[in-house]
Amino acid sequence: MNDHSHQHSPRTLPRYSATFDQHSISEIERAAATGIYDIRGGGAKRKVPHFDDLLFLGASMSRYPLEGYREKCGTDVVLGSRFAKKPIELKIPITIAGMSFGSLSGHAKEALGRGASAMGTSTTTGDGGMTQEERGHSKTLVYQYLPSRYGMNPDDLRQADAIEVVVGQGAKPGGGGMLLGQKISPRVARMRTLPEGIDQRSACRHPDWTGPDDLEIKIEELRELTDWEKPIYVKVGATRPYYDTALAVKSGADVVVLDGMQGGTAATQEVFIEHVGIPILAAIRPAVQALQDLGMHRKVQLIVSGGIRNGADVAKALALGADAVSIGTAALIALGDNDPKLEAEYQKLGTTAGAYDDWHEGNDPAGITTQRPDLEARLDPVKAGRRLANYLAVLTLEAQTIARACGKNHVHNLEPEDLVALTVEAAAMAKVPLAGTNWIPGQGGY
Amino acid sequence: MPEFDLARSEVRELNQALHALQRETNETHWKVRNPGGKHALAVGLDLPITVEIDGHAGYYCAGMNKEATVIVSGNAGVGVAENMMSGEVRVKGDASQSAGATGHGGLLVIEGNASARCGISMKGIDIVVKGSIGPMSAFMAQAGNLVVFGDAGEALGDSIYEARLFVRGKVSGLGADCIEKEMGPEDREALEGVLAKAGMDGEVTPDDFRLYGSARRLYHFNIDNVDAY
Ligand SMILES: Cc1cc2nc3c(=O)[nH]c(=O)nc-3n(C[C@H](O)[C@H](O)[C@H](O)COP(=O)(O)O)c2cc1C
């Protein structure tokens, strides 16, 4: 064995397993050391079929584009026209998704309200009730009606511009909220009627209804409570989108909100985030199909979310039949989450800018996912609101750019026929042809 | 006394008439005839008026009530007085599931029995049930007092926070993290207060009740409680 010639013979490089990759190994080590599952914020991080797998065809011999600077391309959207006496009118088809005060700081909520209002769109409360910061700064505010009913009260219900009944969310369909002790500050505890500092789990099922027949009666109650004025949304995580959409319509929803598995969360088990639910790309067409089968497409509006980053994502979601999109993670990044300028502080937390997802721990150096007053003070709600408004403007301009190139004078006129897919998977999920072919998997042909 | 006949008009008209009342109104006592088990009766009231429902109510009667007194002479469906903030709701008959669910305040009295999930997620409401309550009652109950003259079903107070559960009869089983507790002077005072508020202080002896509440073992994630998550 001590043969020296061995040292000089060629050796294979150390090889990491594709199955037991470094992340899997570190997770096994972590689990073995602690005995409890990993909790984190954010959405699915592994690669799943997404809007990047689609392309627009643009104009050609048979399609005429619109002039970029001269010809109007509308972006407005009306939500809640089915039953509500006072539907919501938004200037852009991009809303801010429900994120709780508790998971987010008061300044972050204020900044979301400022940015959204500047661009003529709405924000949404979350699993912690409505705060004055948010009501005060959001011209249009959607009030979430969640299983926990933390802070739920009729005055806030009446102050809201719309009500969103949350059945589930994409990051954790079938899971309730979670807020760990570090973030249960005295104010958060008071708003939720909980002891300070406990690790809080919120319910995953509504306490007073189960199933679509009951939901119909619940929605009737919410309408009676608010004199039939307010649009009522039903939010579901993307799992069985055809049936969920059909049942939401049957239950009397004005708007269906569909959130894909990439959608962010403030805190949940990693295994839940990565392995439950389907990508939004796979969910839109079945949901639209359900609306079309019921004669309700464009009458009951569809808002989709989960991994929306740029105007192309917005345009693709609309082309597949959505009426609007909603953003969570991207809005937080626009406010300043994961900013490379804070790299030294992320390093101290054992992570790096761009990968920071310990939102549940409440130590966010950007002052967004925290309840610590010293950290919150770092986020200037006016400046952060401005950044969000800028970002929303860019999303809108980008979506318009694409719509004009496809010859559309309103972003809602984008259609599946404007799209092709780069992969067979995306072609099957989005039901558009594989680029360069007329093949839609599952729809005949070869 | 203004009367509303639901055989002739819609629930929507009833609720809108009640919502339209001003604080200085003289129409402070209403009677609703022929409720016929209709849903969402007298929801979202916001004034100290009294509404008597002459018969059975469907789901969510008196939902989100503030200040008003709502009396149901018959039975009440699912979620009676759900998310009540203040005021009083009294059901002379039995109540279905989730009575007083998520209630933040006020008093709910069920003179008959209440079904499963009574007081689920309660957040400060006081509930008195003269009969018995069904399984999974006071699930995740956060605050307030639930007083039961009869028995309680399986899994009482599962994952309970700081609510107090007083039961005079038999408890079929306690849920995760719910334990029997010794009744201290403050607890006793709370019980007596609720009974007095319900006008039932002479009817029962506080000493006959046993107190159940949180063992607080699930307040922090801990590997040794892993079965309960
Ligand atoms: C910090 C944070 C908190 C959230 N809180 C809630 C909530 O309280 N209720 C809810 O329905 N969804 C909540 N969500 C999910 C969002 O509403 C939305 O579905 C999701 O963020 C959309 O996906 P995206 O993050 O990829 O844009 C939260 C998301 C984040 C990032």
- Integer Cα distance of A2 and B145 in angstroms: 79
Give A199's pLDDT tier (boundaries 50, 70, 90): confident
Q: Ligand 1 atom closest to Cα of A126?
A: 8
Residue B229 has pLDDT above 90, yes or no: no
Q: Token pair for residue B23?
A: 């604080």
Chain B positions contacting chain A at CB under 8 Å are: 11-12, 15-16, 19, 39-40, 43-44, 46, 58-60, 63-64, 66, 78-79, 82-83, 85, 97-98, 101-102, 104, 117, 120-121, 123-124, 139-140, 142-143, 159, 161-162, 219-221, 223, 226, 229
Q: Of all protein residues, whose CA lies closest to atom 9 belonging to ligand 1?
A: A126
The whole-angstrom separation of Cα A23 and Cα A13 is: 20
Q: Which domains does chain A have, with CATH numbers?
A: 46-418 (3.20.20.70)
Report residues whose beta carbon is within 6 angstroms of any ligand 1 atom: A 41, 43, 97-100, 103-104, 126-127, 144, 166, 169-170, 235, 259, 262-266, 305-308, 327-330, 359, 369
- Count other C-beta atoms under 10 Å from residue A20's C-beta: 10
Query: Is the minimum CB–CB distance between A36 and chain B shorter than 8 Å?
Result: yes
* CA distances to A51, A94, A312, A314 from A324, in Å: 15, 6, 13, 8
Query: What token pair was written down for B216?
Result: 């607080």
Cα gap A148→B102, rounded to integer Å: 8
Whether the predicted pLDDT of A7 surpasses 90: no
Residues B113-165 pLDDT 10s:
999 999 999 999 999 999 999 999 999 999 999 999 999 999 999 999 999 99
d(C-alpha A354, C-alpha A334), whole Å: 13
Q: A352-375: b or e for each residue (b if 16 or more CB lie within 10 Å)? A: ebeebbbbbbbbbbbbbbbbbeeb
Contact B46, B25 (CB under 8 A): no
Place of tokens 């602690």: A34
Instruction: Copy the structure tokens of residue A326.
Output: 């909603």
pLDDT at A58 over 90: yes
Cα–Cα distance for residue pair A400/A406, rounded to 1 Å? 10
d(CA A105, CA A377): 10
User: Is the CB of residue A221 less than 8 Å away from at least one CB of chain B?
Assistant: yes
Per-residue pLDDT, averaged over B165-176, amounts to 98
Residue A3 CB partners (closer than 8 Å, separation 6+): none
Q: What is the mean pLDDT of residues A190-208?
A: 90
Determine which residue's CA is closest to atom 29 belonging to ligand 1.
A265
Per residue in A336-371, pLDDT tens? 999 999 999 999 999 999 999 999 999 999 999 999
Q: Residue A153 is nearest to which of B82, B104, B117, comparing CB atoms?
A: B104
Which band of pLDDT confidence, cut at 50, 70 and 90, is reported for residue B186?
very high
Q: Using the beta-carbon criterion (under 8 Å), do B66 and A154 form an inter-chain contact?
A: yes
Alpha-carbon radius of gyration of chain A = 23
Q: What is the pLDDT of residue B220?
A: 84
Q: Which two tokens stand for residue A210?
A: 């189960």
In chain A, pLDDT over 70 holds for what percent of residues? 98
Q: Using one digit for the tens of pLDDT, what is the confidence trace for A267-314?
A: 999 999 999 999 999 999 999 999 999 999 999 999 999 999 999 999
Listed by start position, the domains of chain B span 3-228
| One-letter amino acid for residue B148 of the chain | V
Question: For A109-137, how does the pLDDT look when each residue is reduced to its tens digit (9 = 90+)?
Answer: 999 999 999 999 999 999 989 998 899 99
Q: Please determine, for residue A180, whether its predicted confidence score (pLDDT) is greater than 90.
A: no
* Mean pLDDT for the stretch of residues B2-18: 97
- Out of B43, B101, B226, name the one closest to residue A225 (CB): B43
Can you tell me the distance from the alpha carbon of A286 to that of A302, in angstroms, rounded to the nearest whole number? 12
Number of separate helices (H) and strands (E) present in chain A: 15, 16
Measured between CA atoms, the residue of chain B closest to residue A37 is B223
pLDDT tens for B91-115 read 999 999 999 999 999 999 999 999 9
Q: Which of B39, B140, B220 sits opposite A198 (nearest CB)?
A: B220
Give the pLDDT of residue B225: 62
Architecture of the domain spanning B3-228: 3 Solenoid (2.160)
Task: Give the model's pLDDT for residue B223.
Answer: 63
Tell me the percentage of chain A whose pLDDT exceeds 90: 87
Query: Considering the entire predicted model, what is its pTM?
Result: 0.96
Quote the pLDDT of residue B55: 98
Alpha carbon distance A40, A103 (integer Å)? 12
> How many other C-beta atoms are found inside a 10 Å radius of the C-beta of residue A410?
16
